Structure 1
Amino acid sequence: MAAELSVASITVSLRSASGRLVENREWAGSSIGGLAGAAPWRTFRWYRGQRHYSGTYWSATMRDHVIYESRLELARLLFADFDPSVRRIVAQPFLLKAEVGGAARKHIPDYLLVTDEGPVVVDVKPLHRWSKPEVALTFGWTREAVELRGWKYEVWSEPPAVELENIRFLSGYRRDWLFDRGLVDELRGAELDGVSLQRAVACLPGRSEEQVRPAVYHLLWTHEFTVDLDRPFSPAHVLRRTA
């Protein structure tokens, strides 16, 4: 399917941050700066009986709200927000058009991530739907179009359940302005490498565990410390200081 893509036919349309419509630009010549600054090409609507759960998520990466159209998209958004290599997250970033096998095709990816390793275009789809011919065709030509630019294309499905729940839990501590900066600095200076979570929350004399615990979780969200996310959180989790 990907071999049937007419490279010369690929165009991109987007909505600028000011709402201006920019249509049918040459895909290969469109700057990442312009694409990364785009407003969502489409926005969701609430209606009775809808099959998907749509909403907005306040992203610590963007310092702003980012939309999602399903719970699975929200999960991918959480992973992106937690990833320290991700610098920008754009939902519904642009409309791609191309000629594929002699027919006009179009597709709106779910996310554009600007990362330290380069742009990543993401489509989110439940695993059981990958095999549908129309879905496979769309993902095939989209992958080729993205990779022609030397970018990464990703089709993302259900993540490991425990890892998702751990990241979802830590996301509750992503808002840095809610934390006492003096307390956070004390924890940064404490000898916590190799210390259990149970011991870490009791490590500061004069500070209650109720004060310290949220700050420790915030430092886990910001990757100043790490723990094993492949098993449910417990007091026995061991903190490791990042390099």
Structure 2
Amino acid sequence: KPRKHIPDYLLITDQVPVVVDVKPLHRLSKPEVAFTFDWTRRVVESRGWQYEVWSEPPTARLENIRFLAGYRRDWLFSPDLLDELLGAGLDGVPLGQAPRRLPGRPELHVRPAVHHLLWTGRLFTDLDQPLNTSRVLRTAS
């Protein structure tokens, strides 16, 4: 039976092209969507290309990103404070204990600076779980 489907994106990479379909997570389990994406995968991969389906991130990740976006503005944070934090040995430290690593600085300034470092990717933590004081911080390698 003739079929027609136009994927959402074609990504040209250094390796092989990647064909991407985008669909909300709650629609992926619908039989017609699953059938179409399975058929598309088989056609794309038969040509030696890659096929991916993208959906919205998990709810906790999205909420964490929205929260951390409030700390995105570089000009609000002292470069000296940020450098102190990055040199304070935060790898493996729970988020709630990070301000204690700089006892001479007010927690009111340190905590937002930690959130800024998370936003900028200079610190990491598991964003797939709700952000709380027990989340362990990781530094960039």
Query: Does TM, normalized by the shorter one, top 0.5?
Result: yes
Which structure's residues are more often helix, by fraction? 2
Match in the other structure for 2:30: 131
TM-score by length of structure 2 reads 0.68
Match in the other structure for 1:79: none
Deviations 1:58-110 (A, max 9, x none): xxxxxxxxxxxxxxxxxxxxxxxxxxxxxxxxxxxxxxxxxxx335x24251x
Match in the other structure for 2:113: 215
Match in the other structure for 1:241: 139
Instruction: Return 5+ residue gaps in structure 1 as ranges.
Output: 1-100
1:219 Cα deviation after fit: 1.7
TM-score by length of structure 1 reads 0.44
Evaluate the alpha carbon distance shift between residue 138 and residue 224 of structure 1 in structure 2; reply closer, same or farther with a 3 A threshold. Answer: same
Say what the alpha-carbon RMSD is for the aligned residues.
3.5
Equivalent position SS for 1:201: helix
Match in the other structure for 2:65: 167
CA distance in 1, matches of 2:74, 2:14: 22
Q: Do the aligned residues in 1 keep the contact of 2:7 with 2:20 (CA within 8 Å)?
A: no
Is the counterpart of residue 198 in structure 1 residue 107 in structure 2?
Answer: no
How many residue pairs get aligned? The number is: 139
Q: Do the aligned residues in 2 keep the contact of 1:120 with 1:152 (CA within 8 Å)?
A: yes
Evaluate the alpha carbon distance shift between residue 226 and residue 144 of structure 1 in structure 2; reply closer, same or farther with a 3 A threshold. Answer: same
The structure 2 residue matched to 1:224, chosen from 100, 115, 122, is: 122
Q: Do the aligned residues in 2 keep the contact of 1:124 with 1:155 (CA within 8 Å)?
A: yes
CA distance in 1, matches of 2:55, 2:133: 31
Evaluate the alpha carbon distance shift between residue 237 and residue 155 of structure 1 in structure 2; reply closer, same or farther with a 3 A threshold. Answer: closer
Match in the other structure for 2:2: 102
Match in the other structure for 2:55: 156
Q: Do the aligned residues in 1 keep the contact of 2:71 with 2:119 (CA within 8 Å)?
A: yes
CA distance in 1, matches of 2:135, 2:28: 36
Instruction: Return 5+ residue gaps in structure 2 as ranges.
Output: none
1:158 Cα deviation after fit: 6.5
Q: Do the aligned residues in 2 keep the contact of 1:127 with 1:157 (CA within 8 Å)?
A: no
Q: Match of 2:30, as an amino acid?
A: S
What is the percent sequence identity of the aligned residues?
A: 47
Q: Do the aligned residues in 2 keep the contact of 1:187 with 1:216 (CA within 8 Å)?
A: yes
